[in-house]
Structure formats: structure tokens, C-alpha cells
Amino acid sequence: MTESNIFTQYMQKRNVIVKDKKILQSSYIPENLPHRMDKINEVVEIVAPSLNKDKPSNILIIGKTGTGKTAVMNYIGKELRKADPNQDNCAFIYVNCEVVDTPYGILYNMSNQIIEEPNMKIPFTGWSLDRIFSELTKYIDAHDKIYIIVLDEIDRSFQKNGDDIFYFLTTINEVLKYSKVSIIGITNNAKFTEFLSPKIKSRLGEEKIIFPPYNVVQLQDILYERAKFAFDEGVLEPDVVPYCAALSAQEMGDARKALDLLRISADIAERNGDKKVTSAHVRYAKNKIELDAVSEIIKTLTIQSKTVLLSVILNKEDDNEPMTTGDVFTKYKYICDIIGQSALTQRRVAGLISELDMLGIVHARVKSFGRAGRTKEIELSTPKEIVNMIKGDDAFIDFFAYKPPTQTTIC
């Protein structure tokens, strides 16, 4: 028995309604992937020869977020390891290009999964790409097996950095004598291949598999499949799963969102001390998720970006008219002046606005006013909570403390 501490009372009164939290994580790989057996079989059929040291075709997997692409690949990876426990014939490597989206980052990540000897690992910065390429090639060839490399969210990295890595990976087989590499690219952008150079395009897309979005019924099955193990009988009100499924089906059948929704709903119920999860919890969870997503993004913004955003907010508060890039820039310079921050060029600010637009924090569309020029019409599209968060940011304390000499109090 441990001594009591400040956590004991919490631990004792805590009511637990989720038996096993990790089952509800979207990263968890269930024993059984409902409505995806057909896709699994398609991939297995292509990949299977690797167990006999034959190189499988490269595969390009296309499908919207939350359609099970990653889950299927992880599942296959798990099975592949079961079939070849010592990885004598084939090694399965999974790299998510979204987390690390620089060429070096991807290569670093990938290489260190491939390279097992600790003293041969690649340092996380400092080397030239060429050097990694050649070390990696050498290492791979020395091990005489099939490497299956899964590149998740492949389009992310590509858009930013061109196709160097993919060129390397798709042509590496020409240099290899003993080992072979086969690539499985995962993308949620159906038009991804358009950007590729013809050579890479044909290599990468030797086989294409398309993952359609889930419909409501399928989403329900997926949720029930997990809920079965995560909750005791009767903890979920009967309408909870259908509600989660319905909400997520509206968002392009995203199973990850559906799971998040269920997990967070349960979390909230738990923290409230409720014995059951109800649709009210789900509504609350949906709200929380949306808010968290935006505030997470805001936290990672540069000070400059935040300043631009603040400028947009203030512009909107001054008058509700739609604003232009010029308006935002003027106000932006004004803010910079007060908080003593060097101001960027208009060009750069216009760029930052476009970035904020892509993140969905502001809404901007190009509009032409004929002779009066062409500009972006910018609207703010964030809830109050976020606005307050920006205003409360440390960087702007000085700004809000500052009172222009002529200013009269505004209520």
C-alpha cells in the first residue's frame, strides 16, 4: 500500500467507464478491420512475393483521410512480421512524411529504421543528402532482402521539396545487386500524380489502389467493433455510436474523426463523473475537437503570423466590411510599430495571409475591383475563443497596454 498523496483522492473517486483507452486511439491496430478485407487482400496479393525474396510492384494508395489507408498498411506490416519474424527475406518500413516533411527528415527517419546497428545510424543533421543516399544504398545491398518502404502522406513532402527522394527511391533498384526496394506510397490527394515527373509517375504507380470513404453504416460497424472491447455493456447509450457515425459521415466518412469523437465523448463523461456516455457528450466533444484543432495550430504560428492574424481581427472589429491585403498590411505595420517588431514586406505579409487561409483560420479569396486593382478579400473564420487567445498572447501585451495620446475610451 502506498502512502497517500494528492492524487489518491482523485484516483479513488475517479469513475472509469473506458476499460481500455488505447483501443479507442486511431493509431491502434485492431484484430479486425471491418469493410477493408478486400483492400487488404489486394495489397497482400501484390506484396506476398517479397516473402520469397521477389520484388513486389510499387503501389500507390489513394484515398481521403480516415479511410483506413494507414490502418491497412500497419495491419499488413504486422502480419508480414508474423510471417517472417527475423526479417530474413523482407523488412517493412513505415515513414510518415507529414510529421517530418523535409527531405533530410524523411531520409533520416527512414534510414534509421532500416539501419539496425546503433553505431551506423545517421545523425539527425549535418550530413549531405548525397552521403545518406550512398550510405543507405550500401547498407541495403549488403543485407540481401526485400525492403518494403511505406511512405505515408507522400504528397506533403513532395509539394514542398520536389522529387529528389522519390527519384532516388524509385531508381535505387538499378544500382542494387542483391537487395530490392519496393515503395508503397500513400496519398489523400487524387491529383498527386499530376505533379510527378513522368518517370517517377510510372514507377510509383505500377499498381494503384483506391480507398473509398466509409458510409454511415460502415462507420457504425467500425465504432462498434472497437466499442465492444473498450466499454462494458450498457455504458454507451444506444444513440451514441450512430450519432458519432452520422457526424463523421458528413465529413467525408472519416473514421479517424469518428473514433476521436467517441473517445473524447467518453473522456468527457468520465471526467464529469457520469456513468454513461450520451449524445450530449458527443455534441460537447465535437465542439472541443474543433476548438483544440485551431488552437493547436495557433500555438505553432510565428510571431509574425500572429501579428498578421491580430491585424485581421482588429480590422474586423473596426468595421465589419470585408478587408483587403492592403488594409491588413497597414494595420500590421501599425502593430509592429507599437510592439517594437520589425515589419515584413507586403509581399511576405500577403504570403502569410495565404498561409493562414490554407490553415482555415481566415478565409481569403482573390477578387478584382477592376481598375481599383486586384486583391484578396479577407474574412475571419474563427470562433471567439481563438480571438481571445490571440489577443491574450504574450507578444501583444505591449500593444494592448499602449494608448494613443488622442484616443478616447471606447465602451
Partner DNA sequence: CGTCCACTGGAATCAAGGGTCT
Partner DNA sequence: AGACCCTTGATTCCAGTGGACG
Residue numbers at the binding site for DNA (CB under 7 A) = 101-105, 123-130, 160-161, 302, 304, 324-326, 342, 344-348, 350-354, 366, 368-376
CB of 122 to DNA, least distance (A): 8
CB of 338 to DNA, least distance (A): 18
Antiparallel, parallel or unpaired: β 180-187 and 323-324 = unpaired
Q: What is the per-residue DSSP string for 222-289? A: HHHHHHHHHB-TTSB-TTHHHHHHHHHHHTTS-HHHHHHHHHHHHHHHHHHT-SSB-HHHHHHHHHHH
Which residue's CB is nearer to DNA, number 101 or number 207?
101
Which residue's CB is nearer to DNA, number 161 or number 278?
161
Which residue's CB is nearer to DNA, number 248 or number 307?
307
Which residue's CB is nearer to DNA, number 210 or number 303?
303
Which residue's CB is nearer to DNA, number 182 or number 324?
324
Which residue's CB is nearer to DNA, number 72 or number 353?
353
CB of 134 to DNA, least distance (A): 12
CB of 188 to DNA, least distance (A): 21
Contacts of 196 (CB under 8 A, 6+ apart): 158, 163, 166, 204
Which residue's CB is nearer to DNA, number 248 or number 375?
375
Host H or E run for residue 355: helix 346-358
Place of cell 495557433: 298
CB of 242 to DNA, least distance (A): 41
Q: How far apart are CA 95 and CA 87, in angstroms?
A: 18
CB of 351 to DNA, least distance (A): 6
CB of 191 to DNA, least distance (A): 14
Can you give 200-231 as a three-state secondary structure string? HHHHHCCEEEEECCCCHHHHHHHHHHHHHHHE
Which residue's CB is nearer to DNA, number 144 or number 355?
355
Q: How far apart are CA 340 and CA 343, in angstroms?
A: 9
Antiparallel, parallel or unpaired: β 207-211 and 59-63 = parallel
Q: If we measure between CA atoms, which residue out of 249, 360, 363, 229 comes closest to residue 298?
A: 360
The DSSP letter of residue 120 is: G
Query: What's the alpha-carbon Rg for the chain, to the nearest Å?
Result: 26
CB of 198 to DNA, least distance (A): 18
Place of cell 474523426: 257
Structure-block grid coordinates of residue 305: 503570423
- The length of the chain in residues reads 411
CB of 298 to DNA, least distance (A): 14
For residue 177, count CB atoms less than 10 angstroms from its CB and return exposed for 0-12, middle for 13-18, buried for 19 or more.
Answer: exposed
Which residue's CB is nearer to DNA, number 243 or number 332?
332
